[in-house]
Structure 1
Amino acid sequence: MSEKTVRKPKQKEFTSSQGNKYVLQTVPNSKYLEIMDESVVKDNGQPSISILYPKLLEHVVVQPNGLKVDDFDDFSELREVCEAALKFQQS
């Protein structure tokens, strides 16, 4: 019988094209699957960004803490940060 290894979350600093710094942190696979399941639109099976982006900001973007979608003045930066968080989680 092998001992269960405690998985330590990975972190990465991300700097947006506007020069703002963020820290991304992976979540356990079970949490990621939960986030993706909760974000899917039942009608077409595609993720809804209005659900997905807030969840990524809450669970994967850990600094600055407590970011909300409306904290971004520029939608392109919001999209850039959330896409980086998604890519980092999947890597």
Structure 2
Amino acid sequence: MTNKPRQKEFTSHKENKYVFQSVPNSTFLEIMDNCTNEDGKPIISKLYPSVLEHIVVQPNGLNVDDFENFNELREVCENALTFQQS
């Protein structure tokens, strides 16, 4: 069984628009394995860049320093993670 990637448009509180696209479960598991410490807690400095690279597809090529403030970065990445897991 092959799952077709899902997409969702997201508008932040600052009215910036993003598109999220789901990744295969195997890719998401790799992301989480690579971005989690030995206690099972996420390493945000690794997780958010991976989310921007793999799940946030528009605008393309975003990195953590492209955001005006941390709240916008957190809002986008946390919503992308929620989307991926839904």
TM-score range, shorter chain: over 0.9
Q: Distance in 1 between matches of 2:40 and 2:83?
A: 22
Query: Among 30, 36, 51, which residue is 2:26 paired with?
Result: 30
Aligned length: 86
Q: Distance in 1 between matches of 2:36 and 2:23?
A: 18
Which aligned runs of 4 or more in structure 1 are off by greater than 6 angstroms?
none
Query: Among 3, 7, 10, which residue is 2:6 paired with?
Result: 10
CA drift at 1:45: 2.0
Query: Among 55, 62, 72, which residue is 2:57 paired with?
Result: 62
TM-score, normalising length: structure 2: 0.97
Residue 39 (1) aligns with residue 35 (2): yes
Gaps spanning 5+ residues in structure 2: where? none
SS in 1 for 2:18: strand
**Amino-acid identity (%):** 66
SS in 2 for 1:77: helix
RMSD: 0.7
CA drift at 1:73: 1.0
CA drift at 1:30: 0.4
Gaps spanning 5+ residues in structure 1: where? none
